Amino acid sequence: MQTQAHIPAHPAVPVQVDDPFRGLDVRKFGMWTFLGSECLIFGSLITTALLYRGKHDPGLGPHDVLNIPFTALLAFILLLSSLTMVLALAAIQRGDRRRLQLWLLATAGLGTCFLGGQAYEFSKIVHEGVTLSSSLFGASFFTLTGFHGTHVFIGVLWLLSCVARSLTGGFNERNYIGVEIAGLYWHFVDVVWVVIFTLVYLLAPTG
């Protein structure tokens, strides 16, 4: 609240000690609300993918074209990037700008590796004959993973802009909310991949 810190000491003035919204940064609040909304975006896409995963040409179903070991590697990469992201935040909370930049670059780098790996996997799947328009499995798979990949891409750009801002002294141990919010977005994108990896890749129907 704008002026809660300055409430006069009159005994009658109510001080909302039990107001749960006190002291919450408005931008963090906005980001969490946005992430709540994003749950529905990916929920709808995942639902569509689950509904249509059986609709494929013979021999070109999820079990046939999806490379679990490779995708597991990508999953590890993304999880690792969440670690580096939270280490970046911890660094700037200590006031360590160098470590912040290093960990941010590491996160962006891992994100880029993920994207590269996705691009590689997609090209192989397309090569085998599964495309956006070849079957409903292809359509829903690529739409879902494409949306996720776009989110990762935007995240990488965001992280790089954080690095740029940090180089000009934009963050310090008292002012790091921008890094925290970028981190929340990044971790969310990771969580979505955790769900996609399990539901779409690992739980793909056999045969």
Partner 1 sequence: MSSVHGETQAGVHGAAVEHHTHPNYVGVFVVLFVLTAIEVGVSFVPQLPQAPILITLMILKAGAVALYYMHLKFDSRVFSWLFGTGLVTATFLLISFLVLFAHHVGIAG
Partner 2 sequence: MATTVITREAGVLRLPVRETGWLSWLTTVNHKRIGILYLTTSLIFFLVGGILALLIRLQLAVPNNTFLAPDVYNQVFTMHALIMIFLALMPAAVGFANFVVPIMIGAHDMAFPRLNALSYWVYLLGGILFEMSFLPLFGAPDAGWFAYAPLTQNQYSHSAGMNFYVIGLNVLGIASIAGAINFIVTILKLRAPGMSLTRMPLFAWMTLVVSFLIVFAFPSFTIATVLLFFDRYVGTNFFNPAGGGNPLLWQHLFWFFGHPEVYILILPAMGIVSEVLPTFARKPIFGYTFVAYSGVAIGFLGFTVWAHHMFATGLGPVANASFAATSMLIAVPTGVKIFNWIGTLWGGRLRMTTAMLFAIGFIAMFIIGGISGVSLASPPIDLQQTDTYYVVAHIHYVLFGGTVFGLMAGAYYWFPKITGRLMSERLGKWHFWTQFIGFNLTFFPMHYLGIEGMPRRIYTYAPGLGFDEWNLVASIGAFIMGAGVLLFIVNLLWSLRNGPPAGNDPWDGATLEWSVPSPPPEHNFEATPIVYSRRPYWDMKYPEVAHEHGVPAGAPFMLHESGHTLHLPGPTYYPFIVAVGIFLLAWGLVLQVAWPLIIAGLAVGAIGMLGWVQQMAAD
Report the interface residues with partner 1, using CB under 8 A: 1-5, 20-29, 32-33, 35-40, 42-44, 46-47, 50-51, 68-69, 72, 75-76, 79-80, 82-83, 85-87, 90, 93, 173-177, 183-184, 187-188, 190-191, 194-195, 197-199, 202-203, 206
Q: How far apart are CA 110 and CA 160, in angstroms?
A: 12
Classify 18 as helix, strand or coil: coil
**Min dist. Cβ of residue 52 to partner 1 (A):** 10
Give the x/- contact pattern for partner 2 in 80-119, rule: CB under 8 A. ----------------------------------------
CB of 168 to partner 1, least distance (A): 18
> Which region, left, alpha or beta, applies to residue 59 given φ > 0 means left and ψ of -120 to 50 means alpha?
left
Of the two residues 22 and 127, which places its CB atom closer to partner 1 in the complex?
22
Virtual CA dihedral for 68, 69, 73, 74, nearest 10 degrees?
-20
Nearest to 146 by CA among 192, 83, 199: 192
> CA 25 to CA 1: how far, in whole Å?
9
Q: Rounded to an integer, what distance in angstroms lies between the CA atom of residue 119 and that of residue 103? A: 24
Q: Which residues bind partner 2 (CB under 8 A)?
A: 1-4, 6-8, 10-16, 19, 21, 24, 26, 29-30, 33-34, 36-38, 40-41, 43-45, 48, 51-52, 55, 132-133, 135-136, 139-140, 143, 161, 165, 170
